[in-house]
Structure 1
Amino acid sequence: MSIRFSVLASGSTGNAFYVETERNSLLVDAGLSGKQMEQLFKQIERDMKQLSGILVTHEHSDHIKGLGVIARKYQLPIYANEKTWKAMEGLIGDIPTEQKFVFQMGTVKTFGDLDVESFGVSHDAAEPMFYVFHHEGKKLVLITDTGYVSDRMKGIIKNADVFVFESNHDVEMLRMGHYPWNIKRRILSDVGHVSNEDAGLALADVIGEKTKRIYLAHLSQDNNMKELARMSVTQVLASKGIIVGEQFDLYDTDPKIPTKLAYV
């Protein structure tokens, strides 16, 4: 069996990502309540009791809301870098020492038959990092919550079979919207979130001959729409001579409905 995965939830209200191989299954982030997380697992016909562990990207509440509850209930190991562990103190409750593991940025950790590579992103958190999953020549990339995609990041994520990629906002919707200016400025900054257009430009640089699926993730409920994100990214890629639907397909994600379990 190759890698299978589901974007359980993605958006400003909560984020969670599931990945499995024949021997292991991992949850990345638990940004919804424990009860909501259990419902999402039921929808993909999986049981949290079978998880090998939880990987954390950063300490913002839409990524760790249910983390402590789930980890304690199911006695699951949690993996995060040292700065993120420190930043989570007081946010997730007490975690037994035997469930706390350090996963440093820029390293590879092996979970049985699955190699997980961590890499840093540009976001206003203690030490935010995302992951590339490697299994039997297949490559699955998860990258959201970054203000921009640097050449360093592009080198790490290039030519993945599957990308789960941030397409957070439409710039004009954000500028014209009701958010206070300090929030708009933060989102638009280099430590904020990637816009639809910038997602398309970054994807144009990393799509490779192996790429078969792209999932647009972490869409703002106030400053974006699925149709707009898909259209914007499609148009930017087309301007670079990359046509959606020829070599690869483009998919939506949702804040409440998980994507179908799919093979990489």
Structure 2
Amino acid sequence: MKLRFATIASGSSGNCIYVGTESTNILIDAGLSGVKIERGLKSLDLDAAAIDAVFVTHEHIDHVNGVGVLSRKFDLPVYATEGTWNAMPEKVGKISKFLKNNVYEDEPLVLNDMCIKPFEIPHDAAQPVGYTVSVGKYKVSVATDMGHATKTVAQNIAGSDVLLIESNHDVDMVKQGAYPYNLKKRILGDRGHLSNMTAAKMIDYVADSKLKYVLLGHLSKDNNTPELAYETCADMLTKSGAVIGGDFEMWVAPCEGVGRCIEL
């Protein structure tokens, strides 16, 4: 069974992740324009019409911008928590009631050969979740938009072959930057975004012999750089005894444009 994983975009301006097998293709979030998502899928040799469903993490526009467009154009089922559905309508427009589906934290959902499990994340949205996707012996996890690391998140992403984890900002860059105080407080708060250092600690906590790929995602354009995110995580993980490139590969997911496609 072949499992494919690729980021179509992962950053503060848009997020969309592709997960697919020979028989099932899903998106986790669709936070770009429909045109950009279709273009990204085409670069993966996929037609958007082949997507079976979109799973939404939360209602912020950088995660749902293309949800309504894709659903209407391709009769695409959309899955989200009840809280997210209640907060999302004005951002996605009309979606057929026959295409709306609820997901529930810690309740796995089977879609063809995939088992998709939502889990609670701490973020300033209505009812946000991360997702794990399991196919046979393989498991991939998407854990972004988190104000802090929780046991719930750690327990869910443990045992992953592929982990996309938020490495949003450098704390000093936020504190010294030009953002207004309230925005800085939001980013650094318990329901904001995960710092590079906290991401590194989370990776170190859950890493085991099964973990093959770590992608650092959802980077801020103003409060981080790809080099700083990678170096911060790599330095801490190396000090903890991990061998980057040996124990597992690690790279920064592009904020714009399709990233490397992983095949398991």
TM-score, with structure 2 as normaliser: 0.98
Partner of 2:220, secondary structure, is coil
Query: What 5-or-longer segments of structure 2 have no aligned partner?
Result: none
Q: Which residue of 2 aligns with 1:214?
A: 214
1:150 to 2:150 alignment? yes
1:59 to 2:40 alignment? no
Cα shift at 1:2: 2.2
Cα distance in 2 for partners of 1:199, 1:88 equals: 28
Cα distance in 2 for partners of 1:41, 1:62 equals: 18
Superposed CA deviations along residues 66-90 of structure 1, whole A, max 9, x for unmatched, are 1101110111000011111001122
Q: Which residue of 1 aligns with 2:121?
A: 121
Paired residues of 1:44 and 1:260 also in contact (CA < 8 A) = no
Q: CA RMSD in A?
A: 0.9
Cα shift at 1:262: 1.5
Paired residues of 1:2 and 1:136 also in contact (CA < 8 A) = no
Cα distance in 2 for partners of 1:10, 1:103 equals: 22
Cα distance in 1 for partners of 2:120, 2:2 equals: 26
Partner of 1:117, secondary structure, is strand
Cα distance in 2 for partners of 1:212, 1:261 equals: 13
Q: Which residue of 1 aligns with 2:258?
A: 258
Q: Which residue of 1 aligns with 2:45?
A: 45
Cα distance in 2 for partners of 1:240, 1:80 equals: 37
Alignment of 1:31-42 (within 5 A): 31-42=31-42
Q: Which residue of 2 aligns with 1:184?
A: 184
Alignment of 1:195-206 (within 5 A): 195-206=195-206
Q: Which residue of 2 aligns with 1:13?
A: 13
Paired residues of 2:143 and 2:153 also in contact (CA < 8 A) = no
Cα distance in 2 for partners of 1:78, 1:197 equals: 34
Superposed CA deviations along residues 38-71 of structure 1, whole A, max 9, x for unmatched, are 1111222211101111100000000001110111
Q: Which residue of 1 aligns with 2:93?
A: 93
Give the residue type in structure 2 aligned to 1:221: K
Cα shift at 1:239: 2.2
Deviates more, 1:185-194 or 1:149-158: 149-158
Superposed CA deviations along residues 99-128 of structure 1, whole A, max 9, x for unmatched, are 111111221000111101110000000000
Cα distance in 2 for partners of 1:247, 1:238 equals: 11
Query: What 5-or-longer segments of structure 1 have no aligned partner?
Result: none
Paired residues of 2:78 and 2:101 also in contact (CA < 8 A) = yes
Deviates more, 1:120-129 or 1:130-139: 130-139
Q: Which residue of 2 aligns with 1:24?
A: 24
Cα distance in 1 for partners of 2:237, 2:159 equals: 15
Partner of 2:232, secondary structure, is helix
Q: Which residue of 2 aligns with 1:173?
A: 173
